[in-house]
Each structure stands twice: as structure tokens, then as C-alpha cells.
Chain A
Amino acid sequence: MDLVEVLRSSVPYCLVVALPLLILISPVPVDAAAEFTVYRLQHRSSLVNVEARSVDASSVARRCVLARLADLTSTHYQRVVSQGAAALLILLPTNLTAFSEDQCQLVHEVEAAMLEADSQLAVYMAYETQELLDMYESVRTATNTDGATSAAAAMMSSLSTDGYQIVVGGSQSKLMADMTIANVQGKLSGYGVEEQLPTIAIVAHYDAFGAAPELSWGADSNGSGVVILLELARIFSRLYASPRTHPRLNLAFLLSGGGYINYQGSKRFLEDHLDASDSPLLSETHYTLCLDTLGSDNALRLHVSKRPKENSPGYYFFQALEEAGAAAGVTVEMVHRKINLQEDTQAWEHEKYSMRRLPAFTLSRLPNVDITALTRNTALVATALLRHIYNTSVDGIFDNGLAVTKKSVKSWLDLLTSQPRSPQLLSGKNNPLVSTLQQILSRYTNEARVTFLKADKRDPEWAFYDVTRATMAAYAVKPAAFDFLLTMAILAYLGVIYVFLQYFPKIYAMMVKLASPHKSKVH
């Protein structure tokens, strides 16, 4: 009994103080209807907290525009920019390869427009999920009610449909201060005195580029070139290991970085090896073979900036390639394009080498990745190189592990497409992909090493932004009119209760009257 007394006198006092305090210090909620990862564009990015609208809404100013990639055209994009939308969220279908040729064309146009026009618009991309599609449908139907006939109709429709508030948090993207680009190089030394032997350099840039860095997988451009280079390194490492097949020729392999920012990797490589006199690697090159985008198609083009003279090694290689191509049913043609020295950027990687008076050409197909075609192209290049180096048709050599197999090509390709390869994602000293590439090259070649280059501090040739992905949250919201409507309803409800309580004595008396006949029955 004492205990009860103590509790009665003490418990309510402290709880009356503690409970409101507890409630007040509870954190502000952050629950959302949907949270998903969005990918930022190369340059633009800002944090947004705006309402969602569909692309065909009448006004999108200071709103987030939701659009499916298939529905988006560059005209739409320009309209969105000119109306001053705050953000654009593009829903990417999970299966992009199902797009038709025309749709691909449209997508390329939109991508170009996005990379070109510099505006305050924040563009995000996200893969379609059921959640996102539901949201998109809801936003589209809600948009149509903008033109409702009366305010009451709009209010009623707001009861049934949801609007969405789009919030992108995280940190503001900044210019990356110390971005590095890595070159991975390796060498196979020929038989004899290394310095006196001619060299063939094989170059492929390993980065990829797209409107959104996180989505730059680049299996074909230039994953395919890297695959061929790695496969060549594998094959030639075996040939160089055997004394019988050790040729009097050096092979240099370069996986250059920054291929999409005017071949910065190649530029640095040339500066290192031509301007520095102690490096004999490029002192006497037969030619430089740049591999770019060889994933599919039945025609190969050898892009040159200066036609190779007859009897030059480059000419022999072209001939060998033509012969090998004819055997495999692939047409090989030479495309000549003079370097425009007025231009700041070079169209092809070989132009960097040609500008330094090194014979060079880019092998490319031009107009997704087809493994079969890639395997065939790899075999083709390998055969042509073998024919040129050993000056003989060596068809029987492709066995016991020397053959270009689909399996090994696929494994290289899987490695390269395991992560997006936009330059800013490959930055850093310990990037896993770069170190993997280095390990592979050091397995097959000698003196494999990685060199890092940085942009000039005062006059940078490239600039990239960090924070390539963010988390976007979509909150289901109702318009302010809805809140007002709700307040009205609640006030009416409370009014009814008030009236009920005011008249309760009368109701009570009425109930007593009603009950009294029952009373006589009970008793």
C-alpha cells in the first residue's frame, strides 16, 4: 500500500515533464515513398527539392521534369531548358539494346544536346523500375488536371491522385582537384640488341565516355580495342618466350587513358618517350597501330593521315591485313584524312603519333558488341601482325593456346565492362581497373608500368566533376488546397461533436424517456 502511495505521488509528476520533452527531441522524419539511385551528367549538377511534372505539362518552370528516354527528343530538351525547369529525370529502359536504329539516332541527338548546352538544369538518369513507372504514370495523369475546368474539380482530383516532391541530397559536385589519368604500358623485347631493333607500338585507349559518367560502360568504344590489345599481348608473349619464334622486333603495348579528352594519354606517352633522349622505345618505330572500336561490322578501315609508302612496314601490314581479311571475308580499306593542324582536337588517336612524324594509323570499323565479330577481328589483326613480323603465312600457328578464342575475348570484355570507365571514375593511384590492367600486362610483357598524368594547374586541358551518382527521393505530396480542404472537414467534424456535447443533457433525457418503458419490463 505504501508502494502504491509512493507511485501515485511521484510517477505522474516526472512523466508529465518527461513525455513532452521526449516527443519534442525526436528527429525530423526522412521516410520517402521511393528512393533510388540516379546518375548525374558529366558537368551539370545541383541539389534540387522541387515538384515533379511530366514533359508534356503546360508549365515546367522550377519543376522536375520526368521523361522516358524513348519519349524524349532534343526539341523537348530545349523546351525544358528554355522554360527554366529545375531538373530533368530521364528514365532509362533496362534493356537499351531493344531500341531501334531510329530511336538510337534520337537518343544520340538528345545526348549531344545535353553535353553541348550549358544550363542550370540538373539532369539525372535512372533505370526504370516498377516504382518509378508508377510514379511517372501518376505524375502524367496529375499533370492533365492542371487544365481542369474549375477549382473544385482540381481539388477533388487532388484527393485521388498524388503529386511528387523530388529531393536530391548529397554533396554538391565540385571540380576534381587532383584528377589523374593513368597510362598502362608494357613491352616485349625482340631477339638481339634491343636498342637496335625496330618497334611496333600497339595502342588502345581504355576509357569510355557518355553523358552520364556512371553509365559509360563503353564495351565497344573502346573496350573492344583493349580486348584486342590484351589478346595480342597474350599471344605474342608466348611467341616471344619461345627461342624458335622470337622475332627481331620490339612490341610496345600502351593502354592509354583519357582517350576521350583529346588522347591525353597518348600525348603524354609521346612526350615521355620522344622528348626524353634516354628512352629508346620509340626511337625506331615501324609503325603505331591504334585500335579503336572494333566490336562488330564486316568492314575494317585503316585510317591514315599520310598514305604509307610502298615497301614501308606500314604498307606491308596493310597488305597482310587485306590478305587476312580476304581469307575471313572482311573488306579492309584505307581511309586517308589529312590532319588539320588548326584544330585543337584530333579525331583519331594515330594523329597524335603522326604529328610527331611517327608512322601511325588507327584501325577501326566505322559507321553493340558482337563477341563473334570481335573475336574474328582480333584474329584478323593477330594474323596480319604475324604475317608482317614473320613475313610468312603462319596459319598453323594458331593452336595450343595461341588461338584467339571466344572465351578469352569474352573474359577480357567482362573485365572491362565490369565498371563504368568515364575518366573521373578511373582517377586515383589505386584504381582497381587500372591496377588489374597493369597486372595483366606485367604477366605477358616486360617492364609493365603505370604512369600517371595530371592536368596543368594553370591551364588545365581537361576538367571533370566528382559526385557522379546521387540518391533521389520522391515524396508523395498533396497540394496546399488539399490541406485546406482537410482543415475544413476536421472543423466541421469537431463542430458536430461540439453540438452533440452541448445537447447531450437533452439527448440523455430523451434516452431516459426511451428507456423507462423497458425499465417496467425488466422489473
Chain B
Amino acid sequence: MTFFHFGNCIALAYGPYFLTYKYSGMPEYGAFWKCAQVGGMYMLTQLCKMLLLATFFPTSDGPPETASLATVSFTIKLVSVDFGDVMGLSIVMGRVPGAGYIKILITGLGWAAADLLLTRALPLWVGARGLEFDWKYIQISLDANISLVHHLNMALLVWLWWRSDLAAAVRPIVAVLMAGCVYKPLLPQLLAILLGSRPLGFALLAACATPTLCTALIACHIFITHSASFR
């Protein structure tokens, strides 16, 4: 619409990232450069994922419109490549110094910021400055906020997974949550099959936000119980 509108979208998308960085104690650790390095690792991981996709699933022309079980199973295969993210996060986690929550924050925030920069900055720059008004860009910005929670959540789960002293009873729960996070992109298709029509716009956003927040709460609880057991 106008540059002002673009500013609005950017504030909505990047504001939470900035606030999280600023007010979670990270600057005290000089974590900015670490976050940038995590971002570089994110790019490397995406490159590897794309190579994998291009090698083994060369015929994919983006997500198919019709929601049937066949297309869903195909998409499951495609999304399975996202376990590469988990591996990337694991590698990064091993290299970032610091203990406990600061490690998780640096990894999660760096990963999410790189994701935001690479997938959402361009559509916003191209679309939100145009004359045309569309709710789409507000939705993209809100989606960026959901993705911040999602990536922090992933980092937390990966950190938990690699703890050797994690209670044996919790480990399967962490595995299930991690799988749920990885297969999150399937949610719209799943809803399309369940409800008969694909939710759009703010309904889709709400549908994505709810499971993300729920997993985040559960993962937080596990983290708290885990760290409390060392006191």
C-alpha cells in the first residue's frame, strides 16, 4: 500500500525478534555474532535439504492444490526432509558455548531470524510496499511471530533430546513433540481433509498457532522439570 504500511508489517514481523533478543539477557553474553553464525548454519542446512529434494524428489512442482491421501503421502515424504533441520540444530547446539537456556535461546533465535530473513523479508519488501492492499502481508508478519515460537520450541526439544540425563519416561514425549514440530507444514492439508476445505487467512493462522503454543507449553514444562531435578 504505502511505505508506512511496509513499516507496519516489518514492525509486526521483526519486533518480537528484537524484543526477545534485547530482553532475554542475550546481549550480556555478546550473542549477536553467535546468532549470525547459527543463521549461516541455517542456510547451509537449507542448501543440503534442497540438494536432497532435488535428487530424490525431482518432480515436485510445489504443493498440489487438491487434497487427497496420495498427495498427502507424497508431501509427507517431502516434509520428512525437514528432519535435516533437526540435524542442523543438533550440530549448532554442539558448537554454541554457554549453558542451559541461553544456548537454546541463541540457537532458536538465530535459526528463526535466518528463516525470517530468507523466507519472509522478500515477499514483504515486494508486496507490502505496492499500491495494492492485502491482508496477506499482515498475515505473513503474524506468521513470522508463530515461527519464532516454533523455532525456539524446536531448539528446546533438540536440546532436551541430546541430554543423556533426561528422564527415560519423558524421552518418547520429546520424540513425539519433535516429530509433530517437523510435520507442522502438513497441518493445512490435514485440516483440508478433515474439514473438507482448506482454511485461509486468519483461520489458518489460528490453526497453526494453537498446536505450536501447546507444544511450546509442554516442552517448557519438560524443561522446567528437567532443570529442577538438578537443584
Residues in chain B near residue A494, CB distance under 8 A: 11, 15-16, 19
**Interface size of A by Cβ–Cβ distance < 8 Å?**
44
The interface residues of chain B lying within 8 Å CB-to-CB of A19 are 117-118
Cα A478 to Cα B133 in complex, Å, equals: 7
- The answer for the CA separation of A424 and B12 in the assembled complex, in Å, is 54
Interface centre among A32, A502, A522 (most CB of B within 10 A): A522
Residues on B with C-beta less than 8 A from A523 are 167, 229
The answer to whether B161 has its CB under 8 Å from any CB of chain A is no
CB of A476 within 8 A of chain B? yes
Quick check: is A194 within 8 A (CB to CB) of the other chain? Answer: no
Q: CA of A28 to CA of B129 in the docked complex: distance in angstroms?
A: 8
Question: A-B contact count, CB below 8 Å?
Answer: 111
A487 in contact with B8 (CB, 8 Å): yes
In the complex the two chains form, is A26's CB within 8 Å of B19's CB?
no
Nearest chain A residue, comparing its CB with the CB of B224: A515
User: Is A165 part of the contact surface with B, judged by Cβ < 8 Å?
Assistant: yes
A341 within 8 A of B: no
Contact B16 A497 (CB under 8 A): yes
- Separation of A515 and B228 alpha carbons in the complex (Å): 8
Q: Do B132 and A23 touch (CB < 8 A)?
A: no
**Contact across chains for A476 and B132 when beta carbons are under 8 A apart:** yes
Per-residue contact bits, chain B 155-170, to A (CB 8 Å; 1 contact, 0 not): 0000000000001011
Alpha-carbon distance between A515 and B2 when the two chains are bound, in angstroms: 48
User: How distant is the Cα of A31 from the Cα of B229 in the complex, in angstroms?
Assistant: 57
Q: Which of B35-43, B71-79, B198-206 contacts A (4 or more CB under 8 A)?
A: B35-43
Distance of A322 Cα from B228 Cα, bound (Å):
114
* Distance from A441 Cβ to chain B, minimum over Cβ atoms (Å): 51
Would you call B186 an interface residue if the criterion is a C-beta within 8 Å of the partner chain's C-beta atoms? no
Task: Find chain B residues with CB under 8 A from A401 CB.
Answer: none
A-chain residues with CB within 8 Å of residue B39 when the two chains form the complex: 12, 15
Residues in A neighbouring B138, C-beta threshold 8 A: 486
B54 adjacent to chain A (CB < 8 Å): no
- Choose from B40, B129, B133, B225 the contact partner of A515 (Cβ within 8 Å): B225
Which residues on B sit within 8 Å (CB–CB) of A395?
Answer: none
Would A11 and B44 count as touching, CB distance under 8 A?
yes
Contacts A493-B12, A522-B225 given; does A12 touch B37 at CB 8 Å? yes
A30 within 8 A of B: yes
B1 at the interface (CB under 8 A from A): yes
Which residues of chain B are within 8 angstroms of A515 by Cβ–Cβ distance? 221, 224-225, 228
CB of A476 within 8 A of CB of B133, answer: yes
Q: Are B40 and A12 in contact (CB under 8 A)?
A: yes
Nearest neighbor of B12 in chain A, beta-carbon distance: A490
A511:B19 contact, CB within 8 angstroms: no
B91 vs chain A, min Cβ distance (A):
9
Q: With a CB–CB cut-off of 8 A, which chain B residues contact A165?
A: 131
CB distance from B89 to the nearest CB of A (A): 16
Q: Which residue of B lies closest to A508 (CB)?
A: B224
Decide yes or no whether A299 CB sits under 8 A from chain B.
no
In the complex, A522→B229 CA distance in Å? Answer: 10
- Using CB atoms and an 8 Å cutoff, list the residues of chain B in contact with chain A: 1-2, 4-5, 8, 11-12, 15-16, 19-20, 23-24, 36-37, 39-40, 43-44, 117-118, 121-122, 125-127, 129-134, 138, 167, 169-170, 220-221, 224-225, 228-229
Kindly list 4 other residue pairs between chains A and B, CB separation below 8 angstroms, not including A8-B37, A493-B15: A29-B127, A29-B130, A511-B221, A519-B228
11 sampled A-B residue pairs with Cβ under 8 A: A11-B43, A15-B40, A15-B43, A27-B126, A28-B130, A31-B130, A475-B130, A475-B132, A477-B133, A497-B20, A515-B225
